[in-house]
Amino acid sequence: MNRPKVVLVAILCALIVVVAGWALLRPNPSLSDPASTVAGVSTCRLSTLPPQVAVTVRLIQTDGPFPFPRTDGVVFGNREGQLPEQAKGYYHEYTVITPGASNRSTRRIVTGGSPLTDPPQYFYTGDHYDSFCVVPDVKARG
């Protein structure tokens, strides 16, 4: 190969690397809706969560019946401080069934805001409130 062709191939390769890097590092709006993001809380898509989460979301949107009616839908106090501070009564918690568990286990959906059947915020915890992610892609019922 002669020198001009080698230089041209090198420039082309460098351009491909730069474009690929830019595509990988730029924000992806399909992964996060800025209006739904919450400061300090990571984002997780509904499709990446256990399938029982979607079942719980449907139960919330249809007002049950819930598997644990005495504890599902109660006010969540956010005592751990993992979610943004809000007025008492803003957050409500719901059990996400864990297959094989004989009790409520550790998975929950915590909603924020009202109405209770169509809240503007959904949060998921798989570790009993040690960490949360906001679920921005829950579709409004209807």
pLDDT in tens, 82-117: 999 999 999 999 999 999 999 999 999 999 999 999
Element (H, E) at 137: none
- Between 68 and 26, residue with greater pLDDT: 68
- Residue 78's pLDDT band (cuts 50, 70, 90): very high
Average per-residue pLDDT for the chain: 85
Answer whether 107's CB lies under 8 Å from 94's CB. Answer: no
Would residue 20 count as lying in a domain? no
Which is nearest to 111 in space by CA: 103, 102, 123, 99? 123
Most distant CA pair in the chain, distance = 79
- Residue 127's pLDDT band (cuts 50, 70, 90): very high
Would residue 11 count as lying in a domain? no
Would residue 3 count as lying in a domain? no
Q: Which residue has the tokens 């709006």?
A: 29
Domain that residue 124 falls in: 42-134
pTM value?
0.73
Range 112-118 contact pairs with CB under 8 angstroms and sequence separation of 24 or more: 112/83, 112/86, 116/60, 116/63, 116/73, 116/92, 117/60, 117/61, 117/62, 117/63, 117/141, 118/61
User: Which residues fall within 8 angstroms of residue 37, CB to CB, at 6 or more apart?
Assistant: 43, 134, 136
Would residue 124 count as lying in a domain? yes
Q: Which residue(s) pair with 133 in the sheet?
A: 42, 124
Cα separation of 48 and 64, whole Å? 23
- Residue 142's pLDDT band (cuts 50, 70, 90): low
**Which CATH number do you get for residue 47?**
3.10.450.30
Which residues participate in catalysis according to the annotation?
Answer: 93, 128
Check pLDDT > 80 for residue 26: no
Would residue 2 count as lying in a domain? no
- Between 137 and 139, residue with greater pLDDT: 137
Residue 4 pLDDT:
74
Would residue 72 count as lying in a domain? yes
Would residue 54 count as lying in a domain? yes
Would residue 35 count as lying in a domain? no
